[in-house]
Chain A
Amino acid sequence: MSYIKKIKDEYLYKLNNNLSIEIVNQIKTELFGKNGQISNLFKTLGSLKTDERIKYASELNSIKEELQEKINSKLQEIEIREVNSKLENEKVDVTLPEREINRGKIHPVSQVIDEISSIFSEIGFSVEEGPDIENEHYNFTALNTPDNHPARDMHDTFYLDNNKELLLRTHTSPVQVRTMLNGKPPFKIIAPGRTYRSDSDQTHSPMFHQVEGLHIDKDINMGHLKGCLNYFIKSFFEVDKIKMRFRPSHFPFTEPSAEVDIGYELKDGKIVIGEGNKWLEILGCGMVHPNVLKNVKVNPDKYQGYAFGIGIDRLGMLKYGINDLRAFFETDYRWLNHFGFDPLDVPSNYRGLSR
């Protein structure tokens, strides 16, 4: 009896030491191998009397279990220790740079067009487009700007033929004409796109972008125009309040016509839109002239409505603090990187225009 206890104590003590895996396996053999001490003790069971045998066997079994468990946990412990020490040697410098990130950019003009489309989508406008090359009729005459009208001089036009029949559109308004000629009222559209005028200096680019707006229905009046633009400007600049001023002006294709100023202030040399006490002109608008409606086969006695034209590039400059219009079109990699937008930042109704 004391013999088996002695074996147990002796081996438990041994197994508490810091052992290698080989030593533990050797102990295992010493105890449970073919001629192991515990194995041999089991062999003696047959020679005992029944009642003694039962008792002895149970004691022997419990010691066997205890020792086996101890050996297994010892083996596990050693295994974990060895893996850990191996991993320790596999350590890399995680502060080394990651693999190359390929990050593209969306041009501010595209981003602003998407923002504008998103805002107007919310109030029921759809997007129409028209060709960059226009004929004189769609660009001017149909828009109540006949050849002898001095208003034509306000547009420095690029011509594609000597008869001045074909030209690069000087504004997006011909899209109004095309849309109305091809459909039936009501009309509720915006038309963003490229426009061209042959002047080029610090603040003018021979190509720029405009968005045209047109809403024609039975009873659309100047109050709707004001409401629409007020909504747009507030949404675009993402401000709660905006100071807005409508000034009478003149465009041949609208009557009455207005130019719209918004309030701003200068902070650290940058224009901040909102409630400042300076005025900035940002768009032209008005009620579509009855002559234009007649030209596109819409009865001006039944239908009326408004149109507006906004400079997209300029809106972008104001919102994002870009000072130089010409830089928009100069493809400076540094500029595109600085002012460009992440392609995943898609302006939308539900998640808003900006992050």
Chain B
Amino acid sequence: MKFTIGWLKEHLDTKKKDSELIDKLTDLGLEVESFESLNSDLDNFKVAKIINTEQHPNADRLRICDVDIGQENTVKVVCGAPNAKKDLLTIYAGPGSIIPKNNMKLSVSKIRGVISYGMLCSESELNLSDESEGITELNTSQYLDKIGKNFFKSNSEKVVDLSITPNRPDCLGVRGVARDLAAAGAGKLKNISNKNIKKNGSQTIKVSIKKEKNQGCIVFGSCLIKGVTNKESPKWLKEKIISLGQKPISAIVDITNYVMLDLNRPLHAYDADKIDKEITVRNSKNGETFEALDNKEYKLSDEMCVISDKSGVLGLGGIIGGKRSGTEINTKNILLESAYFIPRSIRKTSKLLNLDTDAKFRFERGIDPESIELGLLKASELISKICGGKISNFDIQKTEKFNKNKIKFNLSLFEKITGFKIKDHEIIKILTDLGFEVSRKKLELDLKIPTWRPDITQPIDIVEEIVRVKGYNNIETLEPEKTKIKDTLNKQQKLFHFLQRSVASKGYFETVTWSFTDSKINNLFKENLKEIKIVNPISSDLNVLRNSIFTNLIFYLKKNLDRGFKDISLFEIGPIFKDSKPGAQLTVIGAIKSGKVSRLIWNEKERLVDVFDVKKDAIQTLVEAGYDRKSLFIRDKSPSYYHPGKAGSVYLDKDDIEPVAYFGDIHPNIIKKLDIKTEGLVGFEIYLDHLKENKIKLKDQKPNFEYSDFQKSERDFAFIVDKNFKAQDLVEIISSIDKDLIRSIKIFDIYEGENIPVDKKSIALNVTIQSFEKTLEESDLEKINNLIISTVESKSGAKIRS
């Protein structure tokens, strides 16, 4: 919404400074986007005087002019115009100026070896006239005292640009803005002068609104203006249109636009001679087409509100006119339309046709239904004044009568909501100034809502009107109360924050990536989850919701590898999606690690990252979060995007069905497919939703502190087992032999090769044995030793290595 202060003052009688008005607009909730000259480029053109001229040493037709531009020093300008003489008053454009005619930007330049600072302009270069012979000659008496001043004045009026919220259609017209300012004490709203225009005869084109279901038009007002001469708009009107950055077209079009911008009253002018007999406002039929003023053909479906004549559709009501009946420069007779269209209908139609116009924008927000006659009046008056012609009587077709909405407003509601008091009479004044009809009944106001405020429907809206006009700065700042209703975080949220920092503390950089991703990459990690497509993605490579955190992590890992990083550890904690339903999502940690460990560390041997790096990180994270390492159970199953032989899953308990984590090498096929250039790539995932609550809580009392000071003994064993036999099972067998005596078991070597059959391996363990009751004697140790060997051999088919 744009207007100049001058235009505003046509509606507002005010002595306030521009800056005060601007501040007031902001305070009222009419956000000022900008307040500046629309065409500030023109400030570069100055009135100047040629002090002296001399011949250019290298060019006969060029002269070097000494130009006074109102500053301390004169400037040298090379000029080829024959009329560039001493004492001439002309127009100077400095370096940086943009010449209106050709949009050329000036710079300091050498012309045939002589530096020229800027340029002296011809009238044609400034679009002042077609005069291109020589530079502009300014009248001495008028301009002598203006040397150094801006030549262009009318354009220097600043334009206010407001960002109008969707609830304020009334402020899409200058008058609405003026009314708000007046209510806020920034001046007085001027009355609209109601000159009686001469109306002759009746409107002879028959108009009817068809009564049908979902009719989008309620009122259709019109008048005929016969015998007009359409032409270029007069200067004042052109300037108004230009000042808002729009292009003047013809007087008739400009006038309808002007009334719309002034009063937020959209109008449409038809060439009356192109209307076939009569006008019917009706619902469209599926398949109907028409060519709109934007030169596009639209195919209509059912129930779109169209203005039609005997030959077909003339226009889409309240959205866009048709080409067939548009006014042209030689139009003689016009039919002026001023109507009310239902916002819902406008919105539906424009959405279906994907059509956005200024009229649509306004009707969709709600036009004042009572402004129909005012619009016809103002526009026809201007048209007859500028283009001549005879105005017919106004024809108003109406299918519904408008009653002003009423609200009962309890005066105490204001303080209840805003927390501060204002006097009743002040409330009444504010509402009256905004156009409400107010009658007071004790503690209640009976209000009639102005027809231009479709947004006001209930008492709370009245509170907003009052507090907004009174000023939000009157609201007190109350100290916040610290009472708590609930714990800040619930269990799951605490876990989230703990795990997030736990993983980061292991050297991973946390990243946050988009919840959507490229379906091509997602497919590699999707497993049996459903692909969730976005109907309107921002680009085709961000077209699905992610089924796995790895999708984006791997994509960005590759980018970082391409940046020259080798050893990268990244993780993200966030949602993955199972289905396109609210809540069908899981919170997952995904972490990946590439390259080597201890690369180029002088005192350590470097090695590739491997499955046991990520196994450690996953398990340590779980242990830190309070899960008992001894209960964790590992299986060698993993999703297909992991290496089938070098990956596993973690269960909180042996009997659990759902794993809480996966870890392992990423499948080499994926690395190849995505063309990831790294020496090693491993990763892990933790599913927060599968992590059951810990039985032992941090707040619980700790178990009794029990320890043994009796002597510990350590024994080493080496068992030869089948290659597929799992170390976890071997440890489980040994530890369950005597939970009281066997205190710890450590696997310190795995051996395959010489002296061991091909399908076997050797597992070497160190077992710590200690009693709570006594120092074990050699015979006790011998006994447990033998028990370990015999139990392992019988339960696992292993053989002790001798």
Contacts and interface: CB of A to CB of B under 8 A. Distances in A.
Interface stretch (A32-40, A160-168, A266-274): A160-168
A248 interface: yes
Nearest to A157: B536
A231 B582 contact: no
Contacts of A151: 166-167
Contact of B29 (A122, A150, A250): A250
A210 B538 CA distance: 20
Interface in A290-340: 290, 304, 328-334, 336-337, 340
B481 interface: yes
B123 interface: no
A329 B507 contact: no
A287 interface: yes
A263 interface: no
A58 B556 CA distance: 91
B514 A340 contact: no
A333 B552 CA distance: 14
A83 to B, nearest CB: 25
B452 to A, nearest CB: 16
A336 B585 contact: no
Given A97-B602, A198-B538, A127 B343 contact: no
A168 B536 CA distance: 11
Interface in B515-556: 515-516, 532-538, 542, 545, 552-553, 556
Interface string A63-105: 0000000000000000000000000000000001101101111
B348 A207 contact: no
Nearest to A291: B458
Contacts of A120: 488
A290 B480 contact: no
Interface size class of B (residues with CB under 8 A): 35 or more
Contacts of A100: 597-598, 601, 604
Contacts of A334: 563
Contacts of B556: 330-331
Contacts of A159: 534-536
Nearest to B343: A148
Contacts of B604: 99-100
A153 B28 CA distance: 23
B365 to A, nearest CB: 6
A249 B482 contact: no
B107 interface: no
Interface stretch (B292-300, B304-312, B497-505, B659-667): B497-505
Interface in B461-503: 461, 463-464, 467-468, 472-473, 475-490, 493, 497, 500-503
B585 A249 contact: no
Contacts of B542: 206
Contact of B418 (A148, A206, A221, A290): A221
Contacts of A138: 582
Nearest to B480: A123
B95 to A, nearest CB: 26
Contacts of B580: 133, 160-161, 166
Interface in A201-245: 206-207, 219, 221-224, 226-228, 230-231, 245
A171 interface: no
B464 A255 contact: yes
Interface in A98-115: 99-100, 102-107, 109-110, 114
Interface stretch (B315-323, B400-408, B565-573, B787-795): B565-573
B472 A246 contact: yes
Q: Closest 4 A-B residue pairs measured CB to CB?
A: A248-B29, A102-B507, A223-B419, A250-B165
